[in-house]
Amino acid sequence: MSERGRLLLFVAGAAGFAALLLWGLAGLPAFGDYRGPYGDVINASAVAQRHLTNMASAINFDYRGFDTLGEEYILFTAVTGLALLLREIRSEIEEAPRDASPNRDASDRSDALRWFGLMLAGFTNLFGLYVVIHAHLTPGGGFQGGAILGTACLLVYLAIGYRAFRTVSPKVLMDFADATGAGGYALIGLGTLLAGGAFLQNMLPLGQTGDLLSAGTVPVINLVVGLEVSGGFILMFAEFLKETRKPSREKDA
């Protein structure tokens, strides 16, 4: 197709798309006009029922905790699949990979950059832990906190290098965190079944609203989700970063 023909086709398609989009936009409720009944019900009742102040966590980890279990396993399955796809094949050597890119050596980074990066990694780590632990009180939760913890380790990679990244997040520990986190969520559900309740029913003492130890199972579930997500993110980073490196010696086979 000629340049002109393609342009004509694009203009016709874009005009049709714009017309449909504007038509749809004209029928939308006004900006900020909320018409769903459930949000208002949750806002009105969750604090009294569950003793927590983060309504998103009330839905994700309590009223609809079962859905979130499925969501957590999406990430777990994705990371497992990634590890399987990028695994070391027997003819490849995992030990002591050398950096394949010339300008990514630790010695190239200035002291200022290294110290600043490490400092930032520390604060980011602390913030990630805060977000995980305060899931039932303030915005965020296990997913967000776990992702932040993952980026804290990434900062170590950017500031120092691959070896330091692997030292602060050893593979064995991250495998353990990923698996324990994923399994822990299901085990909490099984525990509530054994205790005579429904699957993932909030059966722990609810405590005082606003306390760190309150809202029953919500902070416990967020703790295991934080483990799973941080472990999963770091394993994912490690698998990808490993791909930029070459084995120190090629095997003959």
Partner 1 sequence: MIALQAMAFLLVAAGGTAVALTRDPTRQVLVLALYGLLLSVLFVLLQAPDVALSELAVGSAALPLILLVALAKVRGREHE
Give the separation between CA 170 and CA 126, rounded to whole angstroms.
19
Q: Which of 14, 21, 44, 56 binds partner 1 (CB under 8 A)?
A: 56
Q: Helix, strand, coil: what percent of the chain each, to 5? A: 65, 0, 30
Q: Which of 130, 210, 240, 248 binds partner 1 (CB under 8 A)?
A: 240
* Positions 69 through 108 that interact with partner 1 (CB under 8 A): 100-101
Q: Between 166 and 192, whose beta carbon lies closer to partner 1?
A: 166
* Residue 237 sits in the site that holds partner 1 (CB under 8 A): yes
Span from 22-30, 163-171, 212-220, 241-249 in contact with partner 1 (CB under 8 A): 241-249
Give the torsion through C-alpha atoms of 226, 230, 235, 240, to 10 deg.
Answer: 130
Residues in the chain: 253
* Residue 154 sits in the site that holds partner 1 (CB under 8 A): yes
Are the C-beta atoms of residues 128 and 148 closer than 8 Å to each other? yes
Give the separation between CA 188 and CA 218, rounded to whole angstroms.
11
For 204-225, give the DSSP string.
S---STTSSS-STHHHHHHHHH
Q: Between 80 and 201, whose beta carbon lies closer to partner 1?
A: 80
* Residue 148 sits in the site that holds partner 1 (CB under 8 A): yes
87: DSSP letter: P
Span from 11-19, 148-156, 178-186, 219-227 in contact with partner 1 (CB under 8 A): 148-156
Per-position x/- string for 162-201, each x denoting binding to partner 1 as judged by CB under 8 A, each - no binding: ----------------------------------------
Least CB distance to partner 1 at residue 5 (A): 22
Give the separation between CA 228 and CA 27, rounded to whole angstroms.
42
HSE-up of residue 203 (Cα within 13 Å, Cβ side): 14
* Residue 61 sits in the site that holds partner 1 (CB under 8 A): no
Return the ∠ at Cα 186 (arms to 182 and 187), rounded to 5°. Answer: 105
Least CB distance to partner 1 at residue 34 (A): 12
Judged by the rule CB under 8 A, the positions of this chain that interact with partner 1 are 54, 56, 100-101, 131, 139-141, 143-144, 147-148, 150-151, 154, 233, 236-237, 240-241, 243-244
